[in-house]
């Protein structure tokens, strides 16, 4: 099989949908929705083909593609191979997993978007643009291309939140734009410093150049500059992840954005932060990263506890889930901070697992809101009577989230903590309080919704119906699959992990 | 000078200038003898045709040997061609805008004048691009300035327009005087006005007194010329003049006149002050241009901060764009500060990108302000409903101005960052200011987005686009996207035809 343009097709296939949608009449609601979902399918199919052909023994290097794109600095620079930015896509095991995750969640979120009430055409066009950005982020092989796709996710999100969100949507959209704008600004400085001083922006070349003495650089990069760049990276991706003091924008987005967009946001966009930290932080600056590992672990535990305690006192289910996201991203940091195989593997597992779980939970939030028009815990209650199936799935999602064995959350938390206990047992012991708290706040919230007294009567509510089955079943299926057979993730990850560990020297 | 010498000059190198000059003569005579009731639009189209013709003749001159005629006062080198391309392209688009411009306050009777004054100003800018002598540079500068003063006051029955012309004349007079004062020092020490000869004399300077005086001359010339760039410290005129002047004139001032300002600054700075040796404490000598780098950097930083911060408070769209254009002058000054080997590339590309995005934005502004008769930003509300083309076009221009990837503005900024970071003493502070103020600019740029896409429209009346404006918007949208996605079209063109501007001083 020829894989020449495979990744380009995979990344840009939603463009076809955007083109077709442009010619759809505005009022044709069901047509637009159908087309919107169909347009996400080519990427999904291609992503699955990539996954299974990899499992079938294909080398992922075959997927790489490279074309001349921009040449700065004239012919002299071109001859010496400096300052050229190529259009280069490629995937490794980690990238492959993220691409599959993105494609799956994008399709499911497109289905969840059936709940959207107005201007479906603009909505789906932006949605598909967002998907291009996300897929591009995980496949780009150089920093400038990465940044391009990274920013492409920013603009559709701004509009999707600001136009289709809830009451305080514009404020949330601005908050999103400015925080992430600052994050990307810092990221851009890092990228440009690296590019200007080394003459390349290729991630692999940078990883080699930054870690060999006497590499042919255009201008010197001192050790302290490297440390500064890594800290800047940490802040840039810390906004995205988010790390504790930089998180306030993300709460607003979780509450104000439409649930289908939060599925994407919490499921994938936050994970770009983790992806970037692992890919660039660990990949390009392994020595400096090792020095900062302790700090990361501490930040992780703070995130975990802070999120968990605040989630416990929230009165709105969306806020509970938002803080829960912060808390769970703490586990990613803990895993990275541990800096050993179990820890890093746990962190990556957590990225995938939380992506699936939060997508499921926010889908159910959408289902709930569609019927009850509230997400306040005090107003909900007794839902198990009217919609037993949805309540059951909600409970299942919560179980996965709190790390019930047999589901994906358990594997990732277990590994991340296993890693940390090896390195920093005291810190890890403190962190376990967070695990207990997770169970407490999730059960409190879920039980308040499903059982308890119904303050209002939701007499006519219907249970999960028609199209709503697909996302729920697929997500639960994947969560359980990873829980009982983690090899679906760990095998593709093996090579990536080995490269990372070799760089760190552990 | 006898006839033989006169005929021995290669007049072909001046073809574009002759075409414009001829057009000015034809238009002014035609305007005089045409009956009053004939629509002067036809003169506008003739003028447009003239500019296009000049553009074509200029393109045919690409690749000719570097020549200079009239005793080295008029040079045709790659620098001249490259920047004349931008000037003519900008002027052609501005002409199209001017043809469609309609206003009630006294412009109609003078519409004919409007067109040939534009062309006269354009002729001035072209001479500046090609000059090899202080005298012709200065004449070119005045040839640009004087018609501009008249143009700014063309809405004769509009108080603000009159005010703007008055302010422009006074400020312009002061700044010209300062420039000329500075030039007089240069002439006093060099004893010649020819740039090349000046450079030769200055290369051998060793008397510290002379160098001190030349340092003074540098600041006077730079400060005086910053008037044309609308950069600090001579930026205060911009908001008032931009607001009062007719919109096509504002577009002209913000793009063509600003480009001309950078052209003359590059000519004078590099060819004179790049050759003055300044002894350092460690015994080495560096050119004066590098010795004063910190001061230029300070002005660049101040310009970016002033432009972007004050723009936040503007409700008048033309004032907002005045501050935005001040900010963009600051960005380009960053490239000038860095003086790396990509400085010319960066400035040329940024000017091209800026021309496209800013003229496009002004085309939209002209349509909206003509329609509503007011320049308040709230008239953009609901533009997406009234004219999706205009709204999406404006959206793209704004994204490009804000430097979002996928647009020409981003590549322009990338190029500037690269130059500033690749030099040995990397300008981290300046780059950080540039990126931080870019994020600040999101606030006001996306404020327009909010109006266009989120807010409901006051009326549902569709907006009809005149043909010229439509062409401008289409050309600029396509250009902004094309050079954002495939910047190599422009960058390779520049490198293969202008060869890094090596013939700048030869």
**Of the candidates B454, B488, B495, which has its C-beta nearest A170's C-beta?**
B454
Tell me if the bond preceding B445 is cis, omega within 30° of 0: no
Task: Say if residue B233 is preceded by a cis peptide, omega within 30 of 0.
Answer: yes
Look-up of token digits 């007794």: A382
Q: CA B122 to CA B118: how far, in whole Å?
A: 6
ipTM: 0.89
The pLDDT of B78-85, averaged and rounded, is 88
Residue B494 binned pLDDT confidence (cut-offs 50, 70, 90)? confident
Q: Do A158 and B446 touch (CB under 8 A)?
A: yes
In contact, A116 and A164? CB cutoff 8 Å? yes
Q: Using CA coordinates, name the residue in chain A closest to B398.
A: A155
Which H helix or E strand runs over B74?
strand B74-76
Confirm if B99 and B48 have CB atoms less than 8 A apart: yes
Residue A306's pLDDT is what? 93
Mention every residue, 6+ apart, whose C-beta is less than 8 A from residue B149: B165, B168, B169, B172
Is some CB atom of chain B closer than 8 A to the CB atom of A166?
no
* Residues of B with Cβ-Cβ distance to A148 under 8 angstroms: 405-406, 410
Q: Hey, what are B63's tokens? A: 């690749």
CB contact under 8 A, B431 and A192: yes
Q: Tens digit of pLDDT for each residue in B119-135? A: 999 999 999 988 888 89
Torsion, Cα A484 A467 A253 A169, to 10 degrees, reads 180
Which residues in chain A land under pLDDT 50? 506
Which residues fall within 8 angstroms of residue B76, CB to CB, at 6 or more apart?
A: B13, B14, B61, B64, B66, B67, B68, B130
The pLDDT value recorded for residue B500 is: 66
Going by the DSSP 8-state scheme, the letter that residue A464 receives in this structure is: S
Residue B106 has pLDDT above 70, yes or no: no
Of the candidates B405, B419, B454, the beta carbon closest to that of A163 is on B454
- A374: which 2 tokens? 């509230």
Q: Report pLDDT for A455.
A: 58
Rounded Cα–Cα distance for residues A149 and A201 (Å)? 15
Q: Specify the pLDDT at position A332.
A: 92
Digit-coded pLDDT (tens) for B36-73: 777 788 888 999 999 999 999 988 888 777 777 877 78
pLDDT at B451 over 90: no
- Cα–Cα dist A345/A332, whole Å: 10
Q: In the numeric block, which tokens belong to residue A120?
A: 């479906």
A interface mutation test: which of B391, B428, B435, B501 has the most A CBs within 10 A? B435
**Locus of tokens 């003055």:** B276
d(CA B371, CA B56) in angstroms, rounded, equals 34
Q: How far apart are CA B261 and CA B224, in angstroms?
A: 10
Q: What are the extents of the domains in chain B?
A: 14-173+230-268, 313-506
E-strand ranges in B170-270 read none
Check CB contact of A73 with chain B, cutoff 8 Å. Answer: yes
Strands A84-89 and B277-279, bridge-based pairing: unpaired
**pLDDT at residue B505, as a whole number:** 63
Q: Which residues contact B283 (CB under 8 A, 6 or more apart)?
A: none
Question: What's the sign of the alpha-carbon dihedral B402, B407, B409, B412?
Answer: positive
Six token digits for residue A31: 């047509």
* Residues of chain A with C-beta less than 8 angstroms from the C-beta of B446: 158, 174, 177
- CB–CB contacts below 8 A, A to B: 101
Residues of B in contact with A74 (CB under 8 A): 345, 495, 499-500
Distance between CA atoms of residues B437 and B440, nearest Å: 5
- Report, in this order, helix, strand and coil percent for chain B, each rounded to 5: 75, 5, 20
Q: In terms of Cα–Cα distance, which of B97, B63, B100, B99 is closest to B82? A: B63
Q: In this complex, which of A71, A148, A158 lies closest to B491 when CB atoms are compared?
A: A71
Measuring CA to CA, how many Å separate B125 from each of A184, B252, B327, B362, B498? 38, 11, 22, 21, 20
**Is the distance from CB of A474 to CB of A318 less than 8 angstroms?**
no
Instruction: From residue B504, give the alpha-carbon distance in Å to each of B55, B210, B278, B412, B437.
Output: 21, 25, 22, 22, 33
* Bridge partner residues of A281 (DSSP): none
Name which residue leads in pLDDT, A455 or B221: B221
Has residue B187 got a pLDDT over 80? Answer: yes
User: What is the pLDDT, as a whole number, of residue B260?
Assistant: 92
Structure-block tokens of residue B149 = 């003063």
Q: What is the pLDDT of residues B323-339, one digit of tens each?
A: 999 999 999 999 988 88
Q: Which residue has the higher pLDDT, A61 or B89?
A: B89
Helix axes A120-139, A93-112, angle to 10 degrees: 170
Do A481 and A356 contact (CB within 8 A), yes or no?
no
Residue of A185, A219, A225, A256 best to disrupt the B interface, most CBs of B under 10 A: A185
Chosen for mutation from A150, A181, A200, A228 (greatest number of chain B CBs closer than 10 Å) is A181
CB neighbourhood size of B382 (10 A): 19
Question: CB contact, 8 Å: B429 with chain A?
Answer: no
Alpha-carbon distance A110 to nearest alpha carbon in chain B (angstroms): 22
Residues 6+ apart with CB under 8 A from B416: B331, B332, B334, B335, B338, B346, B350, B434
Residues from chain B contacting residue A186 (CB–CB below 8 Å)? 435
Nearest 5°: phi and psi at A270?
-60, -30
């Amino acid at each position: 099989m020829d894989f020449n343009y495979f990744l380009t097709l995979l990344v840009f296939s939603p463009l076809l949908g955007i083109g077709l949608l442009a010619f759809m009449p505005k009022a044709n609601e069901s047509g637009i929705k159908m087309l919107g979902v169909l347009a996400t399918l080519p990427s999904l199919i291609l992503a699955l083909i990539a996954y299974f052909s990899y499992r079938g023994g294909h080398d992922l290097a075959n997927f790489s593609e490279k074309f001349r794109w921009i040449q700065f600095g004239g012919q002299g620079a071109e001859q010496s191979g400096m300052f050229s930015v190529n259009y280069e896509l490629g995937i490794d095991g980690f990238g492959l997993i993220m691409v599959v995750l993105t494609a799956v969640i994008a399709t499911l979120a497109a289905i969840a978007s059936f709940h959207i009430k107005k201007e479906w055409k603009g909505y789906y066009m932006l949605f598909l643009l967002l998907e291009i950005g996300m897929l591009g982020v995980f496949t780009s092989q150089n920093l400038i291309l990465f940044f391009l796709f990274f920013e492409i996710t920013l603009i559709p999100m701004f509009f999707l939140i600001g136009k289709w969100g809830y009451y305080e949507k514009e404020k949330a959209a601005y908050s999103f734009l400015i925080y992430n704008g600052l994050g990307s600004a810092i990221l851009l400085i890092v990228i440009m410093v690296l590019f200007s001083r080394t003459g390349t922006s290729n991630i692999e070349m940078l990883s080699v150049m930054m870690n060999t003495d006497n590499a042919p650089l255009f201008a010197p990069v001192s050790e302290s500059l490297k440390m500064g760049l890594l800290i800047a990276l940490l802040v840039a991706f810390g906004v995205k992840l988010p790390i504790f003091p930089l998180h306030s924008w993300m709460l607003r987005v979780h509450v104000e954005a439409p649930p289908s967009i939060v599925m994407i946001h919490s499921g994938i966009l936050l994970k770009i932060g983790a992806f970037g930290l692992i890919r660039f932080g660990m990949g390009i600056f392994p020595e400096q990263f090792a020095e900062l590992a302790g700090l990361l672990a501490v930040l992780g535990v703070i995130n975990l506890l802070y999120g968990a305690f605040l989630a416990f006192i929230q009165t709105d289910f969306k806020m509970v889930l938002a803080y829960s996201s912060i808390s769970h991203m703490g586990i990613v940091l803990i895993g990275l901070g541990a800096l050993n195989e179990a820890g890093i593997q746990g962190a990556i597992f957590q990225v995938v697992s939380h992506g699936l779980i939060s997508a499921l939970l926010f889908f159910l939030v959408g289902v709930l809101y569609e019927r009850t028009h509230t997400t306040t815990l005090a107003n909900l209650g007794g839902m198990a009577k009217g919609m037993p199936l949805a309540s059951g799935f909600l409970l299942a999602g919560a179980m996965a989230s709190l790390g019930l064995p047999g589901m994906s959350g358990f594997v990732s938390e277990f590994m991340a903590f296993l890693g940390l206990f090896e390195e920093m047992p005291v810190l890890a012991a403190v962190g376990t309080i967070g695990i207990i708290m997770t169970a407490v706040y999730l059960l409190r919230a879920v039980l308040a919704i499903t059982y308890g007294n119904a303050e209002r009567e939701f007499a006519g509510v219907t249970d999960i119906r028609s199209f709503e089955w697909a996302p729920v079943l697929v997500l639960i299926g994947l969560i359980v699959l990873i829980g009982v057979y983690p090899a679906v993730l760990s095998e593709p990850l093996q090579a990536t992990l080995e490269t990372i560990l070799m760089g760190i020297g552990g | 000078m006898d006839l033989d010498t006169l005929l021995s000059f290669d007049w072909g190198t001046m073809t574009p200038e002759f075409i414009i000059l001829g057009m000015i003569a034809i238009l002014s005579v035609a305007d005089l003898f045409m009956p009053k009731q004939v629509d002067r639009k036809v003169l506008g189209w003739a003028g447009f045709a003239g500019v296009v013709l000049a553009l074509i003749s200029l393109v045919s001159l690409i690749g000719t040997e570097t020549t200079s005629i009239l005793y080295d006062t008029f040079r045709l080198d790659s620098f001249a061609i490259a920047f004349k391309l931008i000037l003519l392209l900008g002027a052609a688009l501005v002409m199209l805008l001017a043809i469609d411009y309609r206003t009630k306050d006294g412009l109609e009777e003078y519409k004919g004048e409007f067109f040939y004054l534009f062309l006269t100003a354009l002729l001035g800018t072209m001479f500046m691009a090609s000059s090899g002598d202080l005298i012709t540079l200065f004449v070119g500068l005045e040839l640009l300035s004087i018609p501009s003063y008249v143009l700014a006051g063309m809405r004769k029955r509009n108080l603000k327009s009159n005010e703007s012309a008055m302010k422009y004349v006074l400020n312009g007079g002061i700044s010209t005087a300062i420039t000329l004062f500075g030039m007089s020092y240069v002439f006093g020490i060099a004893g010649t006005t020819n740039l090349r000869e000046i450079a030769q004399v200055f290369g051998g300077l060793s008397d510290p007194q002379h160098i001190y005086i030349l340092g003074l001359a540098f600041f006077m010339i730079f400060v005086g010329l910053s008037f044309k760039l609308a950069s600090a410290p001579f930026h205060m005129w911009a908001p008032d003049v931009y607001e009062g002047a007719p919109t096509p004139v504002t577009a002209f001032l913000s793009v063509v006149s600003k480009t001309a300002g950078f052209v003359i600054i590059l000519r004078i700075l590099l060819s004179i002050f790049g050759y003055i040796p300044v002894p350092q404490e460690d015994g080495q000598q560096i050119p004066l241009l590098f010795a004063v780098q910190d001061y230029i950097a300070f002005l660049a930083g101040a310009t970016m901060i002033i432009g972007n911060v004050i723009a936040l408070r503007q409700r008048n769209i033309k004032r907002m764009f005045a501050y935005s254009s001040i900010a963009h002058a600051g960005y380009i000054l960053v490239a000038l500060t860095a003086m790396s080997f990509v400085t010319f590339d960066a400035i040329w590309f940024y000017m091209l990108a800026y021309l496209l995005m800013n003229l496009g934005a002004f085309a939209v502004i002209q349509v909206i302000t003509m329609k509503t008769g007011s320049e308040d930003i709230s008239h953009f509300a609901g533009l997406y409903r009234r004219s999706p083309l205009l709204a999406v076009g404006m959206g793209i221009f704004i994204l490009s101005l804000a430097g979002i990837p996928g647009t020409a503005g981003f590549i322009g900024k990338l190029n500037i960052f690269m130059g500033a970071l690749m030099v040995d003493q990397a300008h981290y502070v300046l780059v950080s200011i540039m990126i931080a103020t870019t994020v600040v600019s999101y606030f006001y740029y996306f404020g327009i987005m909010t109006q266009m896409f989120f807010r409901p429209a006051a009326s549902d009346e569709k907006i009809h686009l005149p043909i010229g404006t439509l062409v401008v918007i289409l050309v600029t949208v396509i250009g902004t996207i094309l050079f954002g996605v495939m910047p190599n079209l422009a960058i390779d063109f520049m490198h293969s035809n202008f060869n890094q501007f090596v013939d700048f001083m030869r």
